[in-house]
Amino acid sequence: MMKAEEILAQLTVGEKASLCSGLDYWKLKAIPRLGIGNVMVSDGPHGLRKQAGASDNLGNNESVPATCFPAACATASSFDPSLLAEIGGAMAEEALKEEVSVILGPGVNIKRSPLCGRNFEYFSEDPYVAGELASAMIGGIQEKGVGTSLKHYAANNQELARLICDSVVDERALREIYLAAFERAVKQAAPWTIMCSYNVINGTYASEHRELLTTILREEWGFKGLVMSDWGATADRPTGIAAGMDLEMPGSGPYNDKQIVKALRRGSLSEADLDKPALRIIELIQKSQKTLEAHKGCSFSSDAHHALARKAAAQSAVLLKNEGGSLPLAAGKTVAVIGAFAKTPRFQGGGSSKINPFKVDSPLEALLEAGVPAEYAPGYTLGAVTGWISGVVKQEADEEALIREAVELAAKKDIALVFAGLPDEYESEGYDRKSLDMPDAHNRLIEAVAGANPNTLVVLMTGSPVSLPWADRVKAILLAYLGGEAVGGALADLLTGAVNPSGKLAETWPLSLADTPAYRYFPGVRTVEYRESVFVGYRYYDTAGKAVAYPLGFGLSYTSFEYSGLSLSRSSFKPGDSVRATITLKNTGAREGAETVQLYVEAGEPAIFRPQKELRGFEKVFLKAGESRSVSFSLDERSFAYYNLPARTWAIEGGEYRVLIGASSRDIRLKAAIQVEGDGKEALLAGLREKAPDYYALKPARDTVPRELAPGGLDIGAASFEAVLGRPIPQAEPQGGRGPGAFSINTSFEDIKDTFIGRLLWKFLNKEIDRRFPGAEAEARQIAVDTVSYSPIRGLHMAISSITGGHIAFLVKLLNIGRGHAPSGKLHE
């Protein structure tokens, strides 16, 4: 086999440009004369979604059967990197069998708001957790010769208007929160590829963002792989090439390839610029071909993978409440199993991650197989729910009858076990939730059953936090999240006590939506302001002393654990040092179980604004009853650092810090002080307290208990945000602006609807929506309309394959002529 550099030297300019876009939805282009073949990529991130027939990027068309492992919202709660690596290895085996070379995942976007429709695909509100677990999954996949695509890079934290919205985020928050998980995974696991996001970031599309794609990713972090676009995220292709975006996916026909060649002829792009992505793509194809040849005809055991999915779901479930030891279920007690999810579980989310599972376990059947004397009542229907977008859900007459039936059954049994949560249509790629509420039918069911049976237990199936207005009226709450195809068996294991719950929350569950830090600033359409800066999730709640339903890291067990003997390997720390923190953990209960020990670092009295504490380590420890074990953590410079914008580097402020060991962010068991030598760079931020007082007003005195703030949560004024942003807050302008020739391929359909051509186009688009979603309810149809409204014109080729980039460029020219402007700008050539 020739070396990649030798192949590159024999390519024509046209061939180099052609390599930089996909052949179709899933395959890269081949150059047979030089031994470069087609390789295939496929969606993940919690299973393989290979489409052998009709292709799409939203999970609408059929895919080959595969194991549906628990979604990231669940596996994050395992806090177990070894489990993520094992899942990754199993996914790689299935990819090799299907001749897939790159799995598109994992996703490490931060859970900025619990409303983001795609949160179920992401790990955590904390970048350390996300980075560690992603690194483990990447390692598990890639050690078997299959690549990964770490996504979505970066600051892509909402689904609404994701193709046009500008994430306005200060660089400190970008570095400390939104890039940190990517940085950790790149440095620790070296993913083969990274997928850039759809959105604009501080005025520049992610696919054209040289600072992110080259300066930070390659020059600072040392990334050696290739960057591919999210599906349809490419805007100006030559600009993307120069910025460091190597591969456009899916292929958009020859138009963008020709634009690259034209840019070379004009001199706006050099051949050296083009050689870089072409070489990276050749290297990826060669690496993939070698693996595929070595594993030709390989197979795997779907039963073994199903068993792994069951183990993963059990280790990921979180016991939120267990009053009076109500769980595990007492032997011999009669049980009313209530809720349609008990028979047909909600086990995954919608969109590009939707897996076609080999089989799905029913919780009801698994409980009966385990010998639980159970009788079933559906309690609610699984049909479409009226009002699920607005959050105002009507109670249908048949639901009332189902609730009455469930109440009658519950009253006859010793225990009532209710399965509830969010239906499929509530959470999906492409749109965000509007509230934290579960369907009214689910809440009313739980309230009614709890009124009829004092021993009511609830199993929740949801991809993100929900409001629990009935929490005080039930005895136990077990959170399964979206537990994959084997969730039924896993729940039976947990409920009967065959497995001890060990999951911990990787995200805070707020008491109300108004309490969330991004409440006033989520979502946006043309711009979304990240005014909360670094105060995301527990970093806000714990700093402000805000009461929550369940804090980060929370989770109960059927056993108990004792923390003792915290010691630090040194009493002082200076840049370049490392310090080891060690404790003893003992299982003081009668059952074997696992506990996730968490280490947080607290800055004493910093001159700059900082979160009250930040997670800097975790370790999941499995212990037999009565067993003790030493648990150690290593802290380095980054454990104490913040990002200093004037210095454009990580910096350490001197003073006394505390190392905190806890069972959650709110359950700190052990503390130790350490004196840290700083670098003095905080002096460069002198005066920030006066310019941005809203950020400094959050923090109460040390060791205060949670307190209630005014309704509405975090409120950051424009002046404070501009001070940390370092520039005026940008106006929410359409992409391309409003001036002469302003319409561009990035203009949204919403922004052309009042033009003559726009009205004609919308007439066609409405017909297309009706054709693709026949009989859709009003609110489901509205989602489709909103998705189209806030999509750029260039997206037409994704929706209708016969429309080319040339057609779109011509359409833009007509739009500009139609409004009395001469066409201008390189995007219209």
Q: Which residues contact 646 (CB under 8 A, 6 or more apart)?
A: 681, 684, 685
- On whether the CB atoms of residues 621 and 631 are closer than 8 A, the answer is yes
Q: Is 726 exposed, middle or buried (0-12, 13-18, 19+ CB in 10 A)?
A: exposed
Alpha-carbon distance of 339 to 402, in angstroms, equals 9
Strands (E), 499-613: 527-529, 561-568, 572-573, 579-587, 593-603
Nearest to 202 by CA among 723, 645, 730: 730
Phi/psi at 658 (5° precision) = -125, 135
Give the rounded distance of the alpha carbon of 787 from its chain centre. 20
**Secondary element (H or E) of residue 201:** strand 200-201
Distance CA(278)–CA(178), nearest Å, equals: 29
- One-letter identity of residue 780: A
Helix (H, G, I), strand (E, B) or coil at 791: coil
Cα(300)–Cα(138) distance, integer angstroms: 19
Report residue 233 as tokens: 């995220």
Which one from 80, 126, 170, 230 is the annotated catalytic residue?
Answer: 230
What whole-number distance in Å separates Cα of residue 203 and Cα of residue 527? 9
> Do 606 and 652 meet the contact criterion of CB atoms below 8 Å apart?
no
**Element (H or E) spanning 552, and its range?**
none
CB contact at 8 A, 193 and 236: no
Coil vs helix vs strand at 43: strand
Active site residue 230: yes
Burial of 722 (0-12, 13-18, 19+ CB in 10 A): middle
Q: Tell me the backbone φ, ψ of residue 596, rounded to 5 degrees.
A: -95, 110
Do the beta carbons of residue 471 and residue 344 sit within 8 Å? no
Number of H helices, E strands in the chain: 24, 27
Question: Any idea which residues carry the catalytic annotation?
Answer: 230
